[in-house]
Amino acid sequence: TMMISSVTRTTLNRLAKPQSIGAIRCLNVHEYISMETMNSHHIATPLGAVATTAQEAEHIYATKFAGKDAVIKAQVLSGGRGLGTFKNGFKGGVHMVTKPEQAYEYANQMLGEELVTKQAPNGILCQKVYLMERVYMRREMYLSIMMDRASGGPLMVGSAQGGTSIEDVAAANPDAILTMPIDITKGLSKYQAMEMATKLGLEGKSHEKAVILMENLYDMFISMDCTQLEVNPVAETPDGEVVVCDAKVNFDDNAEFRQSSIFSRRDHSQEDPREVEASKYDLNYIGLDGNIGCMVNGAGLAMSTMDIIQLKGGSPANFLDVGGGANEEQVQKAFEILNADENVKAILVNIFGGIMRCDVIAVGIINAAKEIGMKKPLVIRLQGTNVEQAKALIEGCGFRMILADDLEDAAAKAVGVAEIAKQAEHLRLGVKFEGFGL
């Protein structure tokens, strides 16, 4: 049944507050790949083709869209493309095209340039454009399926107010968001699909087409191990067809072994290079905007570490969970990633050794320091398995590392040295921390 109360609070909050890029461990693919994947699951989409050069875009329009209006879209992994601005001054990542020379002109302005959007304020490189047949719409709707923790399974989200930012819709009018939990052991029932179509205001042929669309979307969601399948807008055409006009699809990273065909199309150029490098060593890394690098074992401890850094007046530069079974090579690589980050002014290592042995952490850090040097202040808090051996290794390694007895003490020291390093850099004092890099 349709629910718009307490079960959906978490979902509505998530819709109203867009996640930053890279904040979820999942594969995010370009729009044209999403459209191709939908076609393979019998989901209707407009005619489209991708181009990597302005000449190719012009040729595609002339041969595939002659006499028709088309839309050209910058292929970057960010929302809000239409309202974005390229760093060369060209405004908008989505434009209408009515003749071949327009396709060339727009593609030439987009390709090889970085598009700045609300979700990507630093810009994101556009290397492909997607030309899509213009769809004349009677109305626009929103539809998505996502894995939802609050309801314990897939959740279908719909709104009759599509074609615009769903986050803005959710924030301004939560009642406009319709949600429907789906029993994953039974799947989406025809009754549920019919109920959602009715709630969206569809009738007759459009209602029937929407039910088929939802069933196919759910089949794709499950068979492709999606974490989110978002369509905005779903268009109802004047002749009663229901068509997907724009789509965003995320796939569970843990399913890469059985979804190799889609994962082979991952565009690493659109991702944080630190996260790409970390993933090669099976490290759980998410880049943030602060200046204190964190290396922690366990997601819960990592979140607590980030919280206490902020309570002490600092700002974490990342979420980095080395896990319980990390080896010395993984620890060394984790330290190298933190040390190479120009935004990081100090590094805090917080390890509670249970499965993860403290001496393994110590050896990994020392090996990294020997290979690449240690130019940044390092604060270490270790507790648990083999902690005494780890402390002995650190004390005899020849590098100056700041040891802390508890997390609060460690966070305070990390925030303090990070601020000193930041101010020294700002004033161009050339301050060096005694013992580091020796």
Which residues are annotated as catalytic?
A: 142, 230
Q: Which residue has the tokens 């609050």?
A: 150
Distance separating alpha carbons of residues 82 and 121, to the nearest angstrom? 14
Q: Are 292 and 345 in contact (CB under 8 A)?
A: yes
> Which contiguous run of DSSP H or E holds residue 107?
helix 100-110
CA distance 369 to 399: 8
Tokens standing for 270?
């659109």
How would you write the chain as a 3-class SS string? CCECCHHHHHHHHHHHCCCCCCCCCEEECCHHHHHHHHHCCCCCCCCEEEECCHHHHHHHHHHHCCCCCEEEEECCCCCCCCCCEECCCCECCEEEECCHHHHHHHHHHHCCCEEECCCCCCCEECCCEEEEECCCCCEEEEEEEEEECCCCEEEEEEECCCCCCHHHHHHHCHHHCEEEECCCCCCCCHHHHHHHHHHCCCCHHHHHHHHHHHHHHHHHHHHCCEEEEEEEEEEECCCCCEEECCEEEEEEHHHHHHCHHHHCCCCHHHCCHHHHHHHHCCCEEEECCCCEEEEECCHHHHHHHHHHHHHCCCCECEEEECCCCCCHHHHHHHHHHHHHCCCCCEEEEEEEECCCCHHHHHHHHHHHHHHHCCCCCEEEEEEECCHHHHHHHHHCCCCCCEEECCHHHHHHHHHHHHHHHHHHHHCCCCCCCCCCCC
Q: Give the number of other CB atoms < 10 A from CB of residue 23.
A: 13
- Chain centre distance of CA 239: 37
